[in-house]
Chains A and B, each alone.
Chain A
């Protein structure tokens, strides 16, 4: 679906696009399979056009079809450009460990620290304090600034405490919302 001159416009390489195309084809096929196997409720007098699997089946089919078009386009692109050719991305990224650690902290908070017996404000204070402390220090190291461990820890504790108290009070007392 692209001319030679348009090849340079893509920000994702043909190889990555081809891989994701296979994922879409697989997901589309699974949806079609699941829809086909779905009860058609004929015993309840349902006609074929009102069967519960009709609509998801159509969507699965279209998804698989567009996945095939994406796969074909990736192969076409790869005929004239290298498999890993993509527009240069000028975004400056942080080291991978920072991203992984932050994501792990997000998931730990959402899946373990709240909703499992620990009071909400305690879990929130712990999460915010740890996040601010770790990443403020990491920022200072990355920017070549002088370390201020006590100052950063104090800031982290204040952020954690203020967030925990304010969010708890505002949601519960002002918006009458239950907290996890």
Chain B
């Protein structure tokens, strides 16, 4: 316990030099702006920043990425409140009550609530990040190839089930991602698969250009296709958070923080589900549920606390299991691998202080959003007013340069374009992209674990189905899949009704 506090103190101290403080301020600002701009998401922001920071020392690069991630999830609430357009999918729930408050002339108060909810939500998530990561890291050491296989499958199945409205399409998207990870030389015999004689394809798809394409370029294409909404912001009151709003809703804050963190820990789910789950729970527990959707302070507080608590929560499985809790966390994990950090069960043994470095980065990112939450309103409104034709080509230039920067080869630019087109087409056809990303990130781990497990058991599937943790995992996966099949769900409900 005390070792942990000392390590955290040391980690906090390492980021108190002028360069790190400058990076915190700049990257939090970049995150808030990316989050506030409709069409640019946290995943895209983190993916672009990964390419920008490729040559930086690992701790500074990850500091930039975490500040961008936290900033972007917070920034989305600004456009949700002021324009009724969620800056990121995570802030869609904030539109309901945030914009309703703005229409009543209380946009400043709504932004104050969003700031206090976001800051407190992130703090709750950070508390659990610091508390759970060492414990879960110890538990994860008991995991073998069999358990990791099921855990990776669990991540893709859950992402497919909960992101987007159609689980069947979510699972198909996940399979497309897993197949994309198969392209190139396989791990055991270095045998070329689906490379068609191309030397570039033999190396497989580089993760970052694929992610920049699936999120960055695909989102640009969507933004180009949709007509821009004229930006009109009415005068508003003070954005300074009110202590009374926080004190009155402490239960909502605590509940939403816990829900957000828990949703974050679930592999592949993400901030939007955290926000909606917290919002729904707050409505159920509220004494004034009829006010929800019409300018409820409680509703806005719940949504903003939930989605921001999810950020540290989503980092917990990254650090302990090497399995991302959300799409931006998947990019963050890819960045960690690029920078030579191996997230997973061995992290508490190989780099125990790194976990506390991440906690410290999150704390500084929280200070960043608090600072900009109190001061940045007018500048953000000006940014929101920049016409789309000016922003889009600049973002695309960054997508191209960023993809090229990873390995200095044009092939990665083509990969970015290809995944952009696939991501755009999938979205238009109603397929969520988050499972594709999870499949792409976890496909390699899934295959390695399956083949390693089969080699260890001499081709027997027994250990996959009988080891205690594996049993829990595959039964959970089976139940999740069955629960998403309406016929099965109806049958179960009917049986439950008859029994009761």
Contacts and interface: CB of A to CB of B under 8 A. Distances in A.
* Chains A and B form a bound pair: yes
Contacts of A109: 396-397, 400
Nearest to B222: A91
Contact of B182 (A56, A132, A171): A56
Contacts of B410: 115, 180
Interface in B178-219: 178-179, 182, 186, 188-189, 191, 193-194, 217
Nearest to B165: A9
B389 A110 contact: no
A160 to B, nearest CB: 8
Interface stretch (B5-13, B52-60, B103-111, B346-354): B52-60
Contacts of A62: 175
Given A49-B451, A110-B413, A41 B189 contact: yes
Residue with the highest number of chain A CB atoms closer than 10 Å, among B169, B224, B455, B485: B224
A128 B393 contact: yes
What band does the interface of chain A fall in when counting residues whose beta carbon is under 8 Å from B? 35 or more
B179 A99 contact: no
A38 interface: yes
Interface string A138-180: 1100110000000000010001000100010001000111111
Nearest to A99: B225
A41 to B, nearest CB: 6
Given A6-B486, A34-B194, A63 B172 contact: yes
Interface string A7-51: 001111000110010001000000100100011010010111110
B7 to A, nearest CB: 30
Contacts of A93: 225-227
Given A9-B165, A52-B193, A109-B396, A167 B172 contact: no
B398 interface: yes
A55 B394 contact: no
Contacts of A83: none
A124 B168 contact: no
Interface stretch (B121-129, B236-244, B315-323, B401-409): B401-409
Contacts of A115: 404, 410, 413
9 contacts: A6-B486, A10-B430, A24-B172, A41-B191, A59-B182, A62-B175, A91-B226, A106-B217, A167-B401
Interface of A: 1-3, 6, 9-12, 16-17, 20, 24, 31, 34, 38-39, 41, 44, 46-50, 52-56, 59-60, 62-63, 66-67, 69-70, 73, 91-94, 98-99, 102-103, 105-107, 109-111, 114-115, 124, 127-128, 131-132, 134-136, 138-139, 142-143, 155, 159, 163, 167, 171, 175-180
